[in-house]
Amino acid sequence: MLKPFEFEYRLNARDVDFSSYCRVDRIFSLNQEVSGEHSEQLGMGVEIMSSKGLGWVLTRSNLTMNKYPKINDIIRFRTWPGKMRHGVFPRFVEIYLGNEIIGTSSNLYVQIDLNSRTVAEPFCSEELKNGINIKPLPFPDNIKNIESEIEYFSERSKYSDFDINLHVNNTSYIRWAFDLFSADFHKVNIAKNVLIHYNSEIRSNENIKLELQNKDSMSIIKGYTDKPCFTIQIDWMQK
C-alpha cells in the first residue's frame, strides 16, 4: 500500500538569503529532492528509469508559501503522488514548521525518452498509476497575461545549471528569475506564490533571453532561446 513520504531538514547558511529566510530556489530544490527520494522508494528512481532509457521531467509547478522558515529551523516535507492522467503524474507536497503547514506545492511530471527527448509511454505499476487517495492540492494554473513595459535581460546556461538529464534544472530558472530583482526589493518583498510552466528544455551553452514584466504585486518572467522555454509568475507580498 502506498503511503506519503516524510522528510525533515534543518535549514543552514546555504539555504537562506541575507534576511535569514529560506530562498525560493532552495524550497524548489528540496521539494525535488524529497520527491526524488520517494520515487526511489517506489521503484521509480533515477537508476531504474535511466536503465529503461527514461527520465522524469517537470512540466508545471506551483508553490504557495504562507510563512517562510529561517536559518536553523527544522522543516518537514510530506509528499505523495496523485492519480496519473493522460501520461501526466501529479505530485503534491506539504511543508511544515512544527505542526503548522507553512507551504504547499503541486507539480506535474511526465516521462521522457532520453534518446529522442520526447514524451514516452508511461512506465509504472498500476498502484502508482492510481496514486494515493488523499485529497489533491489544486493543480498548477494557467499563467496570467499582464499589460506593462517589458524589460530585457540575458543568461547563459552553465555547468552548474544542469541536472542528471543534461538540461537546465528547474531551480536554475527560479534563481534566474529572482536574481532580476535588487537586494533592496527583496528586503521588503517575498514571494507568496510562484507558478512556473516549462515549455522546452535548455541545453549546454545556450544563450537565454529573459523578459520581465511587473504590474502591481505580480511579476511575469519569460525565457527564450530560439523558442519559448519557460514562463514564471510570481505574486509578491510584503515581509
Q: Does residue 163 register a pLDDT over 90?
A: no
Q: Is the overall model pTM greater than 0.85, yes or no? A: yes
Question: Which residues, other chains included, contact 18 with Cβ-Cβ below 8 Å and sequence gap of 6+?
Answer: 183, 186
DSSP conformation letters of the chain: ----EEEEEE--GGGB-TTSBBPHHHHHHHHHHHHHHHHHHTT-SHHHHHHTTEEEEEEEEEEEESS--BTT-EEEEEEEE---BTTBEEEEEEEEETTEEEEEEEEEEEEEETTTTEEPPP---HHHHH---SPPPPPP-PPPP--SPPEEEEEE--GGGB-TTSSB-HHHHHHHHHTTS-HHHHHHEEEEEEEEEE-S---TT-EEEEEEEEETTEEEEEEESSSEEEEEEEEEEE-
The tens digit of pLDDT for each residue in 17-33 reads: 999 999 999 999 999 99
For the segment 59-76, the average pLDDT, to the nearest whole number, is 98
Q: Does residue 177 register a pLDDT over 80?
A: yes
Per-residue pLDDT band at 165 (split at 50, 70, 90): low
Q: Does residue 3 register a pLDDT over 80?
A: yes
Q: Does residue 167 register a pLDDT over 80?
A: no
Predicted local confidence at residue 169, as pLDDT: 86
Per-residue pLDDT band at 126 (split at 50, 70, 90): confident
For the segment 83-112, the average pLDDT, to the nearest whole number, is 96
Q: Name all domains of the chain by residue range, CATH numbers in brackets.
A: 1-140 (3.10.129.10), 141-239 (3.10.129.10)
Predicted local confidence at residue 7, as pLDDT: 96
Q: Does residue 43 register a pLDDT over 80?
A: yes
Percent of the chain with pLDDT over 70: 100
